[in-house]
Structure 1
Amino acid sequence: MSEKKAHILVTDDEKSIRNTLKEILEFEDYLVSAVESGQAALDFIEKNDIDLMFLDIKMQGMDGLETLEKLREDGYGFPVIMISGHGTIEIAVEATKMGAYDFLEKPPDLNRLLIAVRNALSQQNLQKEYKQIKKKLPKIQEIIGESKAIEEIKTMIEKVAPTHSRVLITGENGTGKELVARWIHEKSPRSAGPFVEVNCAAIPSDLLESELFGHEKGAFTGASEQRIGKFEQADGGSLFLDEIGDMSLEAQAKVLRALQESIITRVGGNESIKVDVRILAATNKDLEEEISEGNFREDLFHRISVIPIEVPPLRERQKDIPLIAQACLQNLKERDISFSSISFSNDGLKALQQKEWSGNVRELQNAVERLGILATGEEITEETVQNVLKSRDLKAEDLGNLADETEDFQDFKETAERLFLVKQLEKNDWNISQTAETIGIQRSHMYNKMKKYNIER
């Protein structure tokens, strides 16, 4: 099957120009149509698909700039090359600001014209391919909720996303900070670029610098080849520094320099590499308190927190719990047919709403999956919620009951310790390093205790 020809529309009120351009472009094997006015062009485009447009600036009736403005208002995204016999820098700049791809003076130089056409069509093809790829990729999960706090966050995203400002997203673990960052990127002018994530808490401090900035071959033991870091990978897009409060002071200093100068240097290298990256950061810590304790640089804090967004815990927006639970169940149904007949009863949703959810949305998601698997019927009722999730509601009276049932002190201590560790791991989304730091023990001890008590996710 032969490849479809690109369709080019020539719009000019001079018949000789229309005919000349049509002849040149048809010789280059393009499909060419021609009209004599801006209004005729708009009428033609309504009924026909085109890939590129030549548009004269000076025309009777609707001129080229007015036509271009109308095209963009109507959402047409094909490239437009402006042509004019009275070209000035001012007109060229104005046309470019309005979205014109290029500007040619009459009579156009043949080589210049053909290069402009090829480049414009290449860009158009890339945009089409990107849109096709994007359609096939998993869609970003919606931010679910009708509470005032969530509505305010959505409004803030709409305001902040189109800018280049850095954003600091704060909130407890599991509240959805990454989701907020992804939507800021998705609604920004950088959405066609990469969204690169780094979990600063999950990477040992001695490896974080290499992860962020990359390294040259032989930079350190085990560096057998050159590695491109996250800053370079995010060039032209957004870099999400998750749990930035856990970053070492040494790494903070280097990140600060990268933000100040938009330049990075790979570990073991001397070359200064320019990067264009928007920083979105998140933390579950109070960074101002960390600054006062000497754990976080104040100058970096001011660099990353131009726009602060706080994501509230689930207990402060209980109104949203039923909506989130139903959305989680719907996602499970789309992924796994075994959930297709499961639904929530009203009292089941109310039972979920009354729970504390210290692990926030992430904990609720896991609970919904567990409920869907262990429900005895097709409905998740209040009784199902109470029976399946009772182990999550450990309170002082539960320890009292455990003390009544257990006479051996060692058994009591180990059972309570196991319950405590599981609860803390759930709060930290099973991030072992972060959990160990939170409860004040070494990571190696955490692994030993998990092995001892047979704790698995």
Structure 2
Amino acid sequence: MTDERIVLVVDDEPSHRMMVRAVLEDDGWTVLEAGSGERALSMLAEEAESDTYPSVALVDMKMPGMDGMQLLKELQVRRPIMPVVLLTAFGSVGSAVDAMKKGAFDYLTKPADNDELIAVISKAFEYHKLLNENIRLKLEVSGEADFIGASPGIERVRDLIGQAGPSEATVLVLGPSGTGKELVAEGLHRASNRADRPLIKVNCAALPDDLLESELFGYEKGAFTGAVKDKPGRFQLADGGTLFLDEIGEIPGALQAKLLRALQEKTIEPLGSVSPVQVDTRIIAATNRNLKKEVDAGRFREDLYYRLAVLEIRIPPLCERKEDLPLLVSFLLRRLGNKNNKIIRTVTPAFLDALSDYDWPGNVRELENVLERALILSRSDALGTDLLPSQITGAREAEIHMDISPSMTPTPPAPANLEEAEKQAIIQALEENGNHRERTAEALGISRRTLQYKLKKYGLTRR
């Protein structure tokens, strides 16, 4: 995660990278190496898909191809809260000081003193942790718009929002329908420097092609029949803020070219206008399609795809994070209860088991609909399987019929309270793994940090 002691060392001299690695690893750091600025950016794109990516970058000023200053500029767009420490020759200290004015955290002269190297990298890491924590707190101000869950996939999404939010880069949010792509856009906007400006949302699939163009770019009076006055487009309404383009894969080819120009030149041309209009709008796009396949099929412009996908955030479907179901059910029932003026205090173990056995093709949106139906139909403050639709209970009954034989001894009923059920599952996993926390976290399908939080929450830290 982003609070791990991981350093990216970018230097074209293998011997110097080896020396730096030895010093930092002796101090307990994990070191990633890149021999060029281009390779460093490629590694960051690859590491964004994993649970471990660097918190600090140590970059040589002089490298063939992309030099340290160019890489610094790219990192400020892609990883704005990752401190960059520059390495420079003694005679180039002036340029390093100039780089600090442009956003570098600090600089070291080559060859760096071992103690000074560790001190500066440690200081940069603490600065990164502070920035990261501030962003987390900022995201938690509006908790209802945050993701509910503690699975590794959701923790990775949160971390990427924290990394990408403060940047000006366009972000492409990927995931099936119903996973919460709009929530990611809201989180990115709240974590950005544009949070006090508008977040304007457009569902590209919900508007006809001709109407979509006028909605995005606006029009001037007389541009077409019925245009009796000027109308600003969504780009103009989002000026200084963020424009969220949902279902971006649905826009037609002609409009793709106009959108590409708006992204590249930061200008738009309203319908009927003869002069461009300057706009300062950050773009966040989302789709449930595979845009790479759409590019290969000739249905989506390759240049537009790469312009949109400076950073990608993939939201896992609910079937890949079923360990989050107890938290999701608890949260959604509270919210739905407030909405419908009805209190549900618990669910039966069989109810939760049935939810866990279902694959949720409609993801969290489908789960919310199922829970609201059950809540409305319930006659008590507890939900049972009789309130679930047949497509869910049918799957559960088929599994029971298949897996249970007369010789099997039935297991004792699980606790009815969701939090108590989670606590008992953690206790059982601890016992089965000899109280070894790393193995326990792996058995539960959660990160060690999440397990530590749960142990503290349930008063199990002494175990």
TM-score by length of 2: 0.54
1:390 to 2:390 alignment: yes
1:346 maps onto 2:376 in alignment: no
Return the match for 1:279 from 277, 283, 286. Answer: 283
Query: Could you tell me which of 370, 374, 380 is aligned with 1:371?
Result: 374
Which secondary structure state, in structure 2, belongs to the residue aligned with residue 235 of structure 1? coil
Are 1:142 and 2:146 an aligned pair?
yes
Q: Is the counterpart of residue 223 in structure 1 residue 227 in structure 2? A: yes
Aligned to 1:299: 303
TM-aligned CA distance change 1:392 to 1:250, over 3 Å: farther
% identical equivalent positions: 44
Residue pair 1:167, 1:309 contacting (<8 A) in 2 also:
yes
**Which amino acid in 1 is paired with 2:381?**
E
Q: Aligned residue pairs: how many?
A: 266
Contact persistence 2:343–2:381 (CA under 8 A)? no
- Unpaired segments ≥5 residues, structure 1: 1-93, 98-133, 399-457
**2:192 paired residue number:** 188
Distance 1:201 1:362 in 2: 18
Deviation at 1:377, TM superposition (A): 2.6
Aligned residue for 1:296, secondary structure, equals coil
Contact 1:326 1:344 in 2 (8 A): no
Aligned pair partner of 1:165 in 166, 169, 184 = 169
Residue 359 (structure 2) aligns with? 356
The higher radius of gyration belongs to 1
- Which residue of structure 2 aligns with residue 322 of structure 1? 326
> Any conservation in 1 of the 2:217–2:268 contact (CA below 8 Å)?
yes
Is the CA contact 2:355–2:392 (under 8 Å) kept in the aligned structure 1? no
* Aligned partners of 1:213 and 1:266 also within 8 Å: yes
1:380-413 deviation line (CA, Å, top 9, x unaligned): 123433xxx1156789x99xxxxxxxxxxxxxxx
Per-residue deviation, residues 175-196 of structure 1 (Å, max 9, x unmatched): 1111011101101111011101
What RMSD over aligned residues (CA atoms) do the two structures have, in Å? 3.0
SS of residue paired to 2:211: helix
Within 5 A, what are the aligned runs for 1:70-81?
none
The equivalent of 1:119 in structure 2 is none
- State the Cα deviation string for residues 325-345 of structure 1 (Å, max 9, x = none): 2111111222332x2245323
Render the CA deviation track for 1:199-221: whole Å, top value 9, x for unaligned. 01001111111010001112112
Contact 2:350 / 2:385 at 8 angstroms: preserved in 1? yes
**Bigger Cα displacement from structure 2, 373-382 vs 213-222:** 373-382
Give 1:324 deviation, angstroms. 1.1
Matches within 5 A, 1:173-252: 173-252=177-256
Quote how far apart the aligned CAs of 1:286 are.
Answer: 0.5
Unpaired runs of at least 5, structure 2:
1-99, 104-137, 399-463
- SS of residue paired to 1:196: strand
Q: 1:185 to 1:335 in 2, by over 3 A?
A: same
| Letter paired with 1:365 | E
Give the conservation status (yes or no) of the 8 Å contact 1:322–1:353: no
Residues 290 and 236 (structure 1), Cα distance of their counterparts in 2 relative to 1, 3 Å cut? same
Letter aligned with residue 371 of structure 1: A
Shift of 1:351: 1.6
Distance 1:243 1:353, change over 3 A: same
Shift of 1:139: 6.2
TM-score (norm 1): 0.54
